[in-house]
Amino acid sequence: MSRLTLFQKAVIILLLLLLPTALIYSYSNYVTEQVIIEDIHSRNVNRLEVSVNQFESDLDQISQFIVALSIDSDISSLRNIDLYSPFEAVALKEDVSEKLRTYQQLSKLLVDVTIYMPNNDNAITTMPNFPDIPENLSNSWRYIESNNREHDYFIRHVRYPINNMVIGNEVIIEARVYAQSLREHLDELVTTNENEAFLFHNDFGTIAPERTNSTLTESINHQLQGSSGTLNVHHNGVQYLVSYVESEALDWVLIDFFPLDELLKPVYTSRYLLYTSVVLMILFGVISGWLLYKKIHIPIRDLSHAVHKIKQADYSVRITAEHNNEFYKLTRGFNEMAQQIQTLIEQVYEEKIRSQDAFLKLMQAQINPHFLYNCLFYIKNMAKVQQTEAVEKMALHLGHYFRYRTRVEDEKTTLLEEIELVEHFLSIHALRKKSLTYLISVPREMYAIEIPRLLIQPIVENAIVHGIDSVIGKSYIHISGKVNQNSYVIIVEDNGIGLSDIEMNNLTIKLEDDEVLKDSYGLRNVHQRLQKKYGGESGIYLSKSEHGGLKVKLIWHMARID
């Protein structure tokens, strides 16, 4: 957490405030929805149980009526109707018919009652046409399908005598309850425009109002489990809440269903309000985050980047800030500070350059008194012994050498002129020290290369002063050159006393030091001039020479001198 930026921390805090609120609201809405669904399930099952009980109660009344008819005195008289006169027989039948019509009108269901007397052709019925004598009697309610679905019915029989012991003629009482009356009763269960109810049997299918969706009822029927319960059914992208209860008297299942969305409209409205409020909170959070990012994070980030660039010595960096921003004073102060630092750095840098140039010109113009004294002393001694040729050579080399060293107006030269200077310098030392020999093997194609003045001579001088002056016997200096793919190389080797690994490492470190040192100033000056002029890996590299002394390698890239 400590590595996060201020903006990231603020965004995380904002999310920690919004997310719990959204989660609590969502959970509360979910719990409310589940409670409502469970309550609706319970109420629907109870409502269906009441309806089934009402069905069974109506059917039980019919069953009790036909049982009562079976023991009625007039029905008993019908068994011996052949003993009555025609008038009495007609009157008896009329009384029985009146009882049947009266009950038919009082029944809540559409019912027809028929009395059969199998031992004769007499029958009494409330139906328009006399039905055929039933072949199979049903002691419980049984569903009968007809050619016309509208005329399907439930049937039940009672015969007298009930104990199946025939005493005289047998009487069979039949009750038919039509499916159409059940459909009318199902319509009464419909409480809304979306609510529908139907009866279902595995063998006979459904009894349902005409407007009932048949494909939906088939989908529901395939998912029923147990004698009663509730379930959710998805059909054509709509979720339906289904409740069902089985009727033991009919062996049919009463099913009620309606779209769950209609029931949960208030919950959905609350949920939509919740989602809208959450979206608005997130939107406000995003706007707040964006304002926080633009007004606070970006200025802090720009200020941090600017400070980092200042740390990397890029003093030209400036920050752009809005005038109505709280960071305006801070950024304006930073810009003023950066401008002052840049001005001071440029002034110091220019002064340092001028100082270095002046010091370099001073070094060029400076004549080593000891070197000059030795040369003049040599000329004096040779003049005494009348060695005019030696005097002439020393004077000639000394003149060329000092003319080149004292020409400070031009900072550039060619490699050829620098080699000629080195050759004069070595010739002077060779005249004074007969044991000194040297070899210059620089390719001629390098002669025209333009380089800074006094690039090689300080290296050669260092090799003589610190390397071969202390050598007893023959001393040797070799100067060579080569052209690499993208750089030039000049190598100065000697057979002097050389340096140990520790001394060579210390000298390499001193080459990078900005402090003006008396020791090895010539090497450090050449090294840093090469680096500043050519960059990259340009500079001086030290190693042990095959001749036994020190090997100094000057490398500079093929770049134009500034």
- C-alpha of 262 from chain center: 38
Residue 514 lies in a domain: yes
Query: CA-to-CA distance for 180 and 185, rounded, in angstroms?
Result: 9
Q: Which of 403, 481, 401 is nearest to 446 (CA)?
A: 481
- 3-state secondary structure at position 117: coil
Judge if 426 and 353 occupy the same domain.
no
Q: What one-character DSSP code corresponds to residue 130?
A: P
**Strand 436-441 relative to strand 475-483, pairing:** parallel
Residue 220 lies in a domain: no
Judge if 443 and 550 occupy the same domain.
yes
Query: What is the value of pTM for the model shown?
Result: 0.45
The confidence score (pLDDT) of residue 362 equals: 53
Residue 202 lies in a domain: no
Q: What one-character DSSP code corresponds to residue 470?
A: T
Measured at the alpha carbon of residue 53, what is the angle toward residues 47 and 54, in degrees to the nearest 5?
90
Single-letter amino acid, residue 46: N
Cis peptide upstream of residue 128 (ω within 30 degrees of 0): no
Judge if 546 and 423 occupy the same domain.
yes
Query: CA-to-CA distance for 299 and 303, rounded, in angstroms?
Result: 6
Instruction: Among 183, 218, 250, give the residue marking a domain's end.
Output: 183
Residue 477 lies in a domain: yes
Residue 510 lies in a domain: yes
The confidence score (pLDDT) of residue 517 equals: 46
Give the pLDDT band of residue 211 (cuts 50, 70, 90). Answer: low
Question: Is 542 within 8 Å of 514 (Cβ atoms)?
Answer: no
Q: What percentage of the chain has pLDDT greater than the value 90?
A: 8
Single-letter amino acid, residue 234: H
Measured at the alpha carbon of residue 526, what is the angle toward residues 457 and 447, in degrees to the nearest 5?
55
Range of the domain at 155: 71-183
Q: Backbone phi, then psi, for 349, in 5-degree steps?
A: -65, -45
Judge if 347 and 429 occupy the same domain.
no
Judge if 432 and 535 occupy the same domain.
yes
Single-letter amino acid, residue 371: F
Judge if 552 and 416 occupy the same domain.
yes
Query: CA-to-CA distance for 86 and 89, rounded, in angstroms?
Result: 5
Alpha-helical runs (H) found in 312-368: 328-365
Which of 224-228, 300-304, 544-548 is predicted with the least confidence, judged by mean pLDDT? Answer: 224-228
Q: Which residue has the higher pLDDT, 490 or 200?
A: 490
258-286: pLDDT as tens digits: 777 776 777 777 777 877 877 887 787 77
Judge if 274 and 341 occupy the same domain.
yes
Q: How far is CA 51 from CA 124, 187, 199, 214, 238, in A?
A: 32, 12, 12, 22, 26
Judge if 552 and 415 occupy the same domain.
yes
Instruction: Among 161, 183, 205, give the residue marking a domain's end.
Output: 183
Judge if 416 and 513 occupy the same domain.
yes
409-450: pLDDT as tens digits: 667 889 999 999 899 888 888 888 888 899 999 999 999 999
Residue 487 lies in a domain: yes
Q: Which of 437, 436, 456, 438 is nearest to 446 (CA)?
A: 456
Which CATH number covers residue 452? 3.30.565.10
Query: CA-to-CA distance for 474 and 498, rounded, in angstroms?
Result: 15
The confidence score (pLDDT) of residue 478 equals: 93
Question: Is 171 within 8 Å of 41 (Cβ atoms)?
Answer: no
306-324: pLDDT as tens digits: 888 878 777 777 877 666 6
The confidence score (pLDDT) of residue 266 equals: 73
Judge if 424 and 354 occupy the same domain.
no
Which residues, 6+ apart, have CB-to-CB distance to 228 below 8 Å?
45, 48, 49, 244, 245, 246
Question: Is 475 within 8 Å of 495 (Cβ atoms)?
Answer: yes
Instruction: Among 151, 183, 215, give the residue marking a domain's end.
Output: 183
- 3-state secondary structure at position 126: coil
Q: Backbone phi, then psi, for 379, in 5-degree steps?
A: -60, -40
The confidence score (pLDDT) of residue 551 equals: 92
Residue 457 lies in a domain: yes
Judge if 352 and 421 occupy the same domain.
no
Q: Which of 305, 312, 374 is nearest to 345 (CA)?
A: 312
Judge if 348 and 418 occupy the same domain.
no
- C-alpha of 475 from chain center: 74
Query: CA-to-CA distance for 274 and 267, rounded, in angstroms?
Result: 10
Measured at the alpha carbon of residue 424, what is the angle toward residues 423 and 426, in degrees to the nearest 5?
65
Query: CA-to-CA distance for 442 and 117, rounded, in angstroms?
Result: 147
Residue 535 lies in a domain: yes
Average pLDDT (164-180) is 72
Q: What domain count does the chain have?
A: 3
Question: Is 392 within 8 Å of 427 (Cβ atoms)?
Answer: no
